[in-house]
């Protein structure tokens, strides 16, 4: 198998078709509501999103990757916890997309089995637990996996903001640089969180995200 460093580069590449660029993580709805209008408000949105992800999603990834809990159980817990129908649907869609891309890229038999389990309904197929299992199968270190996961969230939201014309591409790249240390800090904290500690840290973001399906026109799925 190729080295972990190369695999991380591949996973972080925007060309890796994991489905993230079809989603805005609630940004499109927040933009329509007038909560995100410029680079400063986008930075606040990103900070809130990273913190919310660290405490509300990453514990599921960590539990599966570390082997502390079995995938099937954590996937069910994730399904129950992500009660927001927009976020729940997006998590499932991204989970399937990530599996399909990982199967094609890495050719690991266990990943093929996971995709079949999701297809038959044996697994809900949520993104974070599946990422935890796949990265474990690829022997990717947990700390780096968590940091990569948060990085891709920031990258995808900045991409969405650029396409929504909230910020330009240069300002977007500046934001990504700005969030480097913050993402690393949150990643270091998240690896120690257990599934029992999952929490929603931003009720406002949760409420705004649920309104996505009510938008008159939509560019993104969530």
Q: How far apart are CA 93 and CA 22, in angstroms?
A: 10
Give the start-to-end residue ranges of the domains of the chain: 4-11+19-213
Please give the C-alpha separations between residue 131 and each of 84, 126, 201, 203, in angstroms, as whole numbers: 20, 9, 22, 25
What average pLDDT does the segment 89-118 reach?
Answer: 94
- Is it the case that residue 1 has pLDDT exceeding 60? no
Q: Give the DSSP letter string of 144-194.
A: HHHHHHHHHHHHHHHHHHHHTTSS-HHHHHHHHHHTHHHHHHHHHHHTT--
Query: pLDDT band for position 166 (50/70/90)?
Result: very high
Please give the model's pTM, rounded to 2 decimal places.
0.94
Specify the CATH superfamily of domain 4-11+19-213: Urease accessory protein UreF (1.10.4190.10)
- pLDDT recorded at residue 163: 95
Query: pLDDT band for position 2 (50/70/90)?
Result: low
């Amino acid at each position: 198998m190729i080295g972990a460093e190369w695999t991380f580069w591949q996973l972080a590449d925007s060309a890796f078709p994991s489905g993230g660029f079809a989603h805005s993580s609630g940004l499109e709805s927040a933009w329509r509501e007038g909560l995100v209008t410029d680079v400063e408000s986008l930075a606040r949105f990103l900070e809130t999103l990273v913190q919310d992800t660290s405490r509300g999603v990453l514990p599921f990834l960590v539990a599966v990757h570390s082997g502390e809990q079995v995938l099937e159980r954590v996937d069910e817990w994730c399904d129950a916890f992500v009660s927001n129908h927009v976020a729940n649907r997006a998590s499932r869609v991204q989970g399937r997309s990530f599996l399909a891309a990982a199967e094609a890229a890495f050719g690991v038999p266990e990943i093929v089995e996971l995709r079949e389990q999701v297809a038959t309904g044996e697994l809900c197929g949520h993104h974070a637990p599946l990422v935890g299992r796949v990265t474990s199968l690829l022997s990717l270190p947990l700390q780096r996996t968590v940091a990569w996961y948060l990085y891709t969230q920031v990258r995808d939201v900045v991409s969405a903001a650029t396409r929504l014309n909230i910020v330009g591409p240069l300002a977007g790249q500046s934001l990504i640089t700005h969030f480097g240390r913050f993402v690393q800090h949150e990643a270091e904290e998240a690896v120690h969180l257990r599934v029992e500690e999952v929490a929603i840290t931003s009720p406002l973001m949760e409420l705004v995200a649920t309104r996505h399906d009510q938008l008159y026109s939509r560019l993104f799925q969530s």
